[in-house]
Structure 1
Amino acid sequence: MADRAPGLVATLSPWFVHLGRRRGRLLTGAALMLLALVAALGLLALSGWFITATALTGLVLASGGAAMLDVYVPGGGIRAFALTRTVARYLERLYNHDTVLRLLADLRGHMFAVLADLDAARLSRRRASDWLNRLTADIDTLDSLFLRLLAPALVALLAILGLSAFLALWAPSVGLATGVMLGLIWCWLTLGQARLGLAASRRRVTELERLRGRVIEHLSGMAELESHGALPEQRRRLDTIEARLRDDQRRLGRLSALGTALAGLTVGLTWVLALWLGAQLWASEALSGPLMVMMPLAVLAMSEALMALPMAFTQFGATQAAAERLNALEASRRPTKTLPDGHLPSAGPLSVDLERIGLRYPGALTATLDDFSLHLAPGERLALCGPSGVGKSSVAALIAGQLVPDSGCVRLGGVDIEHAEGQALRRRLAMLTQGSELFDDSLAANLRLGDPAASDEYLWRLLDDVELGEWARTLPRGLETRVGEGGRRLSGGQARRLALARLMLRDPGLVILDEPFTGLDAGTARRLAERLDAWLTDRTVIYLSHRRDDEAMPLPGVTQTLELQARTGRPLCAKARNLSG
């Protein structure tokens, strides 16, 4: 176990740092949890003392003796403990769950920033469902770090120490026995249960991710699977994963039940031991009857603190595995650049220089780019042509900073892109990819991603420029019309033109347009090309196109053309050839 401790600390320490940013709320929540537990202990202990003292006083009075008992102070104490326990428990649940939701929001925002900073090569190593799983399920698993692991275990330990010290005030032997018995079970319920459930709970995280990925594949490819007769095989794979999940869940359930049973058994044995030791002290007249009864009842109240530990710590491996996966994601993040914005020209067209670029995607048989160079002066317009797979999108991704080359250098405006500040790069570059990335929001909201301050009048003018204005005015809600998830309520041509209008809200120095007129008829494409030509004035432009036929696919203002050609036998390796002379 000793050799694993550093690994565990290294795994969880980044998340302790995140927790530390909410230190005040976490301490307040733990204090409320401790207050509720102390109130429960006080309620049961004082009630036992009061009932016993009342009974003994009544016996004395019934036998003709004289006795006096103040019932108001302990009665008030019992009511105070009962009210405090109820209020503290309610406030603790409300406050701690609000704190955890805030923490999850912090973590999701942080991890989304990490994902956004990953280049295309790193993102391509996993499916989108895997990244989504890390952003949602893994972070959700980490909410147990405070609410179910750290806080309950710490509060239970403090309660054990406090109860032992309290009982030792009247009977040191009872306090010592209580501390030893409850301390041992606390160690088992935390360390022991975590050790027993480590393998199964870690596997469960992995299997759940695999199941989610398979289900998404199954649903998205249902038609293809059925047409090829592969549905039964896919279902068998899903059944296999589910069977493994059930086995691990059954094992974890048995382990949790074992921990719960041991906790109940130990509290019961400690209760009996405290009663036996107290009875011996009472028999020797070293302890009063009410105190003798109060001690085991106080021990009995510790069940509330211990019963929450077995389930949480049996699942500890899932928390550790989720932390490891997110740590690996964080480690793959590119170093943050801190150079000031002034290193990248703040206005005007940008020059583009790619020098001897080498690029190979992970797992690819051949290099995508091999010793590739390109120079584009400020204000020039380049048509980068070639069939699919020769590296056009890779060149664009390199220029946009979405890919890091294996060798060579990429410069924009004379600045190495690796040294350019991220916000400055995003302000100075605009890119229209083949996919029209639209969100399930209104037309106006999707457009204002390009410029949040744009007025409605300006948005209408842009829609007119891309020949969507007349159509949008016929909609009952106009600019507030929702486009659906991924723009599914729009046709392909409408989605493309909406994305182009959003791009025209920007004021970049470099524009990359990947098949800008896909999905449009020739007439519409020519009219849009004329309007786009005016907007592209005084900007550096790179067009990505499969063809060089300007009649079929107009590319306004092209000053040079570069065709990427696949080498024979190496379809992913590209070479550049200037065709403009």
Structure 2
Amino acid sequence: MALWHRRAPRMIAGGVLSLLALMAGLILMRGAGARLAGLVSGLVVVGVVLLRASGVARVVLRYVERLVTHDAMFRALADIRVWFFRRLAGGAAAGLGFRRAGDLLSRLVSDVEALDGLYLRILVPLAGACLILPFLVLAVAPVDPTLAAIVGGLFVAGAFLLPLAAAMLGRREAALLTHRLAGLRIGVLDLVTGLREIRAFGAEGRVLSHVRARDAAAMLQGLRGSRAPAGAAGRRVYLCGQAAILAVLAAVLGVGLGPIPAVRGVGLLFLVVAGFEGAGGLTRAGALAGGISRAAARIVSVGDTDAPSAPVGTLPAPAGADIRFEQVGFRWQANRGHAGRAAVFDGLTLDIPAGSRVAILGPSGIGKSTLAALLLKVASPEAGRILLGGQDLATLDSVSVRQRIAWLSQATHLFADTIRANLLLGGPDATEAELWTALDRAQVGDVVRALPEGLDSWLGEGGASLSGGQGRRIALARTLLSDAPILILDEPATGLDAETEREFLKTLYSVTADRTVILIAHRLVGVERLDRVWRLSDGKAVAVAV
């Protein structure tokens, strides 16, 4: 709800219009019932003007209310999506916080769309029910206080208690449905993205049957979740409405209640019918509440990582590019009570002078990428400190820090867009001449010139139209467009053959002569161009002779 504060005026306006439309409908129904009974008995108790005015008002207000509430909801969902991407980006830098693409797709599509029910199907109808209850009681009480108590009690049960019970019963089913829908999307996305490997191993039938099983489980869970709590509660709410109608008829007939005048009784009968119909949607809303709360929880948790959150600094990053790790200690999941997990770093100390070329070596899982995460302020150390240009990284603004550090990883992504658009990600204000210079420095300019549309050539998803080495050079050109004095290379040549890897690293070293280069790798490549080499072992950095 806090994320929707910008849309509060529109949402409140939509809620007020909804209440006014509901009020006009109640007045219309009560007046129509009284006028009908009066005409039958030869009396005119309600004028045509009132009925016309309330009828027109109800139609106009309902139309405007739908426009305002849906407009407010669409804007609020757009805010959620923008917030979602920002949280995801904050936790995904340096390889952290990545989740399976299918799960993210489920959160972005299904879970975000489910949140429209919070306002349109729960909050607005609930506000309407809160208006209907006193309207019913105040309309019936002057005629028969006992009848007012009965109708009011039945309305409370049907509009509040039974939907609440449906929400409580449906929480578990909603959680299971959300989980199975996410699993279905994960399976489908794996099927599509891994089709080449699936066909190569002749596993089409097995994978497809697995997806079908997930689809069937999600469908079965959806049917079970929609039938159980909502169906039982809906029948009970219907019975509450029928009991209220029966009570009004009994009062008109003088059976146990009343008697009350027939004209007023018929007006109250119409009012009771309209009131219970107005609150009827809350039963379905109660059944949806569990799914909505689950969807909200999954969206809010998107930026959670297993790392202690980095402190929010306020100082701009200094001009200096010297880096120093001083007795740094770090472990994953320390902020979740998993203190027993082995520390990644325990007293890590190393110096990286400005303009130097260093390598950080070690096997997978030893903490090489974690070091990059700490430098990029995606995570923060438990102990010790990291200095950039002589200032504690914790005191520096994250955006300014990342403007000083360029990052080229083993999984650098090329977007399904033009070469120009991919390059401008690294330098939004770069001129065409600067783009060609970057491509030439990355030794891929001739390849791009040979393409029919040059810089405006379409790369395809993941740079599918280029070879692996060409795509990596495009990514390097994009990095070169950044004027950051520090360059982190996280396994930049992974997946390339030996010759392509040597040529790529040779190019890389030649175009980064004036920058601090931190090469993160699991083996030594291009050692002759390095100033220092450290090997990570037991949470510490051990110097290796070059």
TM-score bucket of the superposed structures, by smaller chain: 0.7 to 0.9
Quote the residue 1:509 is aligned against.
485
* Alpha-carbon separation, structure 1, partners of 2:169 and 2:374: 48
Contact 2:19 2:127 in 1 (8 A): no
Query: Cα 1:527–1:115, aligned 2, differ >3 Å: closer, same or farther?
Result: closer
Quote the residue 1:12 is aligned against.
none
Matched, 1:463 2:423: no
Quote the residue 1:295 is aligned against.
268
> Aligned ranges for residues 93-132 of structure 1 at < 5 Å?
93-118=66-91, 123=96, 127-132=100-105
Other structure's SS at 1:195 match: helix
Distance apart, 1:297 and its partner CA: 1.0
When Rg is computed on C-alpha atoms for both structures, the one with the higher figure is 1
What is the TM-score when the length of structure 1 is the normalising length? 0.79
Contact 1:108 1:136 in 2 (8 A): no
Residue 158 of structure 1, aligned match among 131, 140, 144:
131
* Alpha-carbon separation, structure 2, partners of 1:255 and 1:545: 55
Quote the residue 2:544 is aligned against.
578
Other structure's SS at 1:301 match: helix
Residue 268 of structure 1, aligned match among 230, 242, 255:
242
Contact 2:25 2:54 in 1 (8 A): yes
Matched, 1:74 2:40: no
Matched, 1:562 2:533: yes
> Aligned ranges for residues 140-539 of structure 1 at < 5 Å?
140-217=113-190, 220-221=193-194, 227=201, 232=206, 235=209, 239=213, 242-243=216-217, 246-247=220-221, 249-280=223-254, 287=261, 289-326=262-299, 328=301, 335=309, 337-342=311-316, 344-345=317-318, 347-348=319-320, 350-360=321-331, 368-369=344-345, 371-385=347-361, 390-405=366-381, 407-516=383-492, 519=496, 529=506, 533=510, 536-537=513-514, 539=515
Matched, 1:35 2:16: no
Distance apart, 1:129 and its partner CA: 3.7
Distance apart, 1:424 and its partner CA: 1.1
Number of aligned residue pairs: 537
Question: In percent, how many aligned pairs have the same letter?
Answer: 31
> Which stretch of the first structure deviates more once superposed, 361-370 or 173-182?
361-370
Distance apart, 1:425 and its partner CA: 0.7
> Which stretch of the first structure deviates more once superposed, 73-82 or 312-321?
73-82
What is the TM-score when the length of structure 2 is the normalising length? 0.84
Distance apart, 1:181 and its partner CA: 2.1
* Alpha-carbon separation, structure 2, partners of 1:387 and 1:336: 26
The Cα offsets for residues 429-453 of structure 1, whole Å up to 9 and x where unpaired, read as 1111112222222322222222222
The Cα offsets for residues 146-189 of structure 1, whole Å up to 9 and x where unpaired, read as 22112211211211211321333455454443222212222233
* Alpha-carbon separation, structure 2, partners of 1:119 and 1:480: 29
* Alpha-carbon separation, structure 1, partners of 2:58 and 2:460: 49
Contact 1:352 1:411 in 2 (8 A): yes
Other structure's SS at 2:371 match: helix
Query: Cα 1:412–1:128, aligned 2, differ >3 Å: closer, same or farther?
Result: farther
* Alpha-carbon separation, structure 2, partners of 1:177 and 1:540: 79
Query: Cα 1:125–1:294, aligned 2, differ >3 Å: closer, same or farther?
Result: same
Contact 2:326 2:384 in 1 (8 A): yes
* Alpha-carbon separation, structure 1, partners of 2:504 and 2:157: 80
Distance apart, 1:41 and its partner CA: 2.0
Contact 2:25 2:55 in 1 (8 A): yes
Contact 2:184 2:211 in 1 (8 A): no
* Alpha-carbon separation, structure 2, partners of 1:476 and 1:189: 66
Contact 1:515 1:543 in 2 (8 A): yes
> Aligned ranges for residues 83-102 of structure 1 at < 5 Å?
83-102=56-75
Distance apart, 1:508 and its partner CA: 1.2
Contact 1:177 1:274 in 2 (8 A): no
* Residue identity in the other structure for 1:36: A
Contact 2:159 2:279 in 1 (8 A): yes
Query: Cα 1:28–1:471, aligned 2, differ >3 Å: closer, same or farther?
Result: same
Distance apart, 1:423 and its partner CA: 0.9
Other structure's SS at 1:541 match: strand
Contact 1:564 1:576 in 2 (8 A): yes
* Alpha-carbon separation, structure 2, partners of 1:243 and 1:528: 49
Instruction: Structure 1: give runs of 5+ residues left out of the alignment.
Output: 1-14, 58-66, 568-572
